[in-house]
Chains A and B, each alone.
Chain A
Amino acid sequence: MTEYLTIAEAGRALRAGETTSRALVEAAQAAADAWEPDLGVFLARFDETALAAADAEDADLAAGIDKGPLHGIPLGIKDILATEEGAATAQSLILDPAWIEAGLDAPVVARLRQAGGVVVGKTTTCEYAIGFPDPEKPFPIPRNPWDLATWPGGSSSGTGGGLPAGLFLGGLGTDTGGSVRMPAAYCGITGLKATFGRVPKSGCVPLGYTLDGIGPMARSAEDCALMLSVMAGPDPDDPMSSLLPVEDYAALLGGDLTGVRIGVDDLIRHSPQVDDAWPALFADAIEVLRAAGATIVDVELTLFDELSTAQAMIMACEAAAYHMPDLQTRWGDYGAGARYFIGSGTTYSAPDYVQAQRVRRVGQKKLAALMTDLDLIVTPTSTMPAPLVADLDPVRPMDSLSGLHTFYWNPVGNPTLSVPVGFNGGGLPMGIQISGHPFADAEVLRAGHIYQQHTDFHLRRPVRTTATAGV
């Protein structure tokens, strides 16, 4: 593992001549050697091309060409995004020729690379970004570095698990119902579901067209801000990408929370399961925000169940439409979790789908009304920590995800950041969500950064333990 925990820290060291991109990449590769294959982070490692890219970035920096904060930084890319080194497989046997033959970077990957980022590998995902890992399929089973018997969350599993273990300093995830925020919370890192449309999703295998988003994952909110400034901005191949100007998110992180009004909803009424440690962790996190100057206001999100239902239905219906020919002819080639969830999209009617899209509008308006005199809303990412891998049931997914509270934020589209707020009695990380107004991604990141100026949960390192093969 590199001695530098964050992108910001490594970037300062690079410019001070204290390290090189090659050293950062070699340290990341050494960490991968130490943790893999038990951690199940990588579907493909690009060791040789990464070192060559690192050398090129070092040469540029030595020549006075500084591409910015991501220059020379090792990055992991969820294998649902196209990269020039290898095809996006979506961790599936259902190979779509359009993606296999691409061989080009998705726009967001190209932007990271142009900013000097070094792609070290493609990370594991739930198949097509949905479901659970299937041990009967020839893919790694992602595990959580805090306890290898537990799952890192999904669907951005490999990026989530690889970050605290030091296999890269930043990475990409995608979030349709919580796939950035769930692994961020379970793995003790920071992950942003940006405002819908803030980051173009062209070059990304679709799950739910009207919900999907690509988000940065890293140890800190500051690192997510550095990545978002590079990733954001329109792309002609994604008509849903926004034309609004991109901000320098890292430059807006300063100050305190004086004058910031934060609504807090603990969502306990929607939590069938709550870890014993959670109420105190949540309360402590709120107190940190209050001590940083925020005004805390109790609020209650409305239509929470309805929007969670709408999210699941829209995602299932849109995914079923994309996959239908393969579902009909190659059902058994899909993993058990993916095929069950995607296939469930056929049990809804067309009016149901349209109704869900209408309820989204209502939900947006109600949330906007609630936030009229609020800047941010804080909720739990999950009231439960990472579940055991052995407990994941592909046809009863919510049995092991009953504490998860990410779904609501996708249909409304607002930016939502998950930050770690401590550990439960078993040493597993837990996290909160900080949500803001549409396109107030900067304010969300700023609150997360200020919180992390007063805490160090995001900087903790898991201890390498023995493998738990068969667990």
Chain B
Amino acid sequence: MSQTPDSEAIVSALLTMAGLSIFDDEKAALVGGFAANRAAVDALYKVPEVRYEVPALTWSSVV
């Protein structure tokens, strides 16, 4: 997951999938920060205690 050989291709694909057309400087900033941001996200999967944890989201069947 930490392999980001082509941040520009990945960011472009994600933006396209979301249907967003953004300005060039904004896309450049997203691309430039993508690898570091991805590494920070990947670190969340390496927190040992998270293995059997449930997400901090609540749900009730009663409206």
Contacts and interface: CB of A to CB of B under 8 A. Distances in A.
Interface string B1-44: 00000000001001101111111011001100010010011011
Interface in A410-434: 411
B59 to A, nearest CB: 10
A309 B57 contact: no
B37 A362 contact: no
A347 B26 contact: no
A131 B15 CA distance: 19
Nearest to A397: B29
B28 to A, nearest CB: 8
Given A305-B43, A309-B41, A347-B34, A358 B20 contact: no
Q: Chain A: interface secondary structure?
A: helix
Contacts of B55: 354, 357-358, 360-361
Interface string A353-396: 01111111110111000000000000000000000000000011
Contact of A358 (B25, B40, B43, B53): B53
Contacts of B44: 306, 309-310, 352, 355-356, 359
A347 B37 contact: yes
| Interface bracket on A | 35 or more
A210 interface: yes
A317 to B, nearest CB: 11
A436 B50 CA distance: 24
B45 A327 contact: no
Q: Chain B: interface secondary structure?
A: helix
Interface residues of B, number: 31
Contacts of A359: 44, 47, 50, 53
Contact of B54 (A328, A344, A358): A358
Nearest to A340: B26
A352 B1 CA distance: 11
B50 A362 contact: yes
A402 interface: no
A360 B21 contact: no
Contacts of A139: none
Contacts of B41: 309, 313, 348, 352, 355
A395 B25 contact: yes
28 contacts: A239-B58, A303-B47, A305-B43, A306-B47, A309-B44, A310-B44, A320-B18, A324-B19, A327-B18, A327-B20, A328-B18, A332-B23, A343-B20, A343-B22, A346-B15, A346-B17, A346-B18, A347-B37, A352-B41, A352-B44, A354-B55, A358-B53, A358-B55, A360-B55, A361-B54, A361-B55, A362-B47, A364-B56
- 9 closest cross-chain pairs (CB), A and B: A357-B55, A395-B29, A346-B18, A360-B56, A328-B19, A309-B40, A358-B53, A361-B53, A362-B49
